[in-house]
Amino acid sequence: MSDSPPLVKLTDVNFAYDQRPILMGINMEIHRGQVVAIMGISGGGKTTTLRLIGGQLKPSSGEVRVNGVSVPDLDTEGLYDMRRRMGMLFQFGALFTDMTVFDNVAFQMREHTDLSETTIHDLVMLKLNAVGLANVHACKPSELSGGMARRVALARAIALDPMLIMYDEPFAGLDPISLSTVGTLIRQLNDALGASSIIVTHDVSESLKIVDYIYFVSEGRIIAEGTADDIRASDAPFVHQFVRGDIDGPMAFHYPSPPWRDDLYSGAVGHA
């Protein structure tokens, strides 16, 4: 597998919002057929990585290549062409609330293809069936539970059989049953479609079960990487803390800031 060129390749990527650095020297490879997890604490730059791959953000320096094409250099047309072969699941599903479940899944087919309504109907029901929700096609997203909405969003993400599926926190806010359902679906769909998947998550136990490779991101740097077994066996202090969920460890409880004592004594300045 790793002999063929990687589907996604990030080389020395730096990124900063205004002056605040978010990512520093990120190197990443995602091969075809793989499910890769990007893990780390919230606010560590994981979602930013996804947006760089999807072309919603441009890196300050470094290369982002998808299928051999440099993403930041694409014009709008080329970017949209590329995105047609990508699926993305947003943090809370981001289903279109003014449409039914059916129309949500059919959205891309209607926008990007000339398929007849009957073909679209068959395809949509196929996708909904794949996530086990064919019977809710007439519902509005507001009538679904969180787990169901996530699965519908999943069906929508794979509507056009993408080559790359990106998941932004697919497990956030799900009950244990929905959680393992979504986890299993991610793996199954990836293998059935022959696609590659990137999961951004902080859910260790669920993702270790389904992924092929893991990158640990902290404070804008990759601090550990490897297969699930490598990670479990890792004795890097941060990974250890993360996998076990300890409060104290190399990842401090406090957000980096000047000592609060200074703030107290300079009280007169207030919020000026």
Which residue, 27 or 91, is less far from another protein as judged by CB? 91
Question: Is position 112 an interface residue for another protein (rule: CB under 8 A)?
Answer: yes
- Residue 204 Cα distances to 94, 134, 169, 245, angstroms: 23, 30, 12, 9
Beta strand 213-218 pairing with 196-201: unpaired
Which residue, 108 or 234, is less far from another protein as judged by CB? 108
Q: State whether the Cα torsion 12-18-19-21 is positive or negative.
A: negative
- For the CB of residue 146, give the shortest distance to another protein in the complex, in Å: 13
Tell me the window of 79-87, 126-134, 236-244, 256-264 that interacts with another protein (CB under 8 A). Answer: 79-87
Give the integer Cα–Cα distance in Å for 157 and 85: 10
- For the CB of residue 85, give the shortest distance to another protein in the complex, in Å: 9
Query: Are 120 and 110 within 8 A, CB to CB?
Result: yes
Give the integer Cα–Cα distance in Å for 25 and 150: 32
Q: Enumerate residues 82-111 that contact another protein by CB under 8 A.
A: 82-84, 86, 88, 90-92, 94-98, 107-108, 111
- For the CB of residue 111, give the shortest distance to another protein in the complex, in Å: 5
Query: Are 223 and 45 within 8 A, CB to CB?
Result: no
Build a one-symbol-per-residue string for 167-206: x at contacts with another protein by CB under 8 A, - elsewhere.
Answer: ----------------------------------------
Binding residues vs another protein (CB under 8 A): 54, 56, 79-84, 86, 88, 90-92, 94-98, 107-108, 111-112
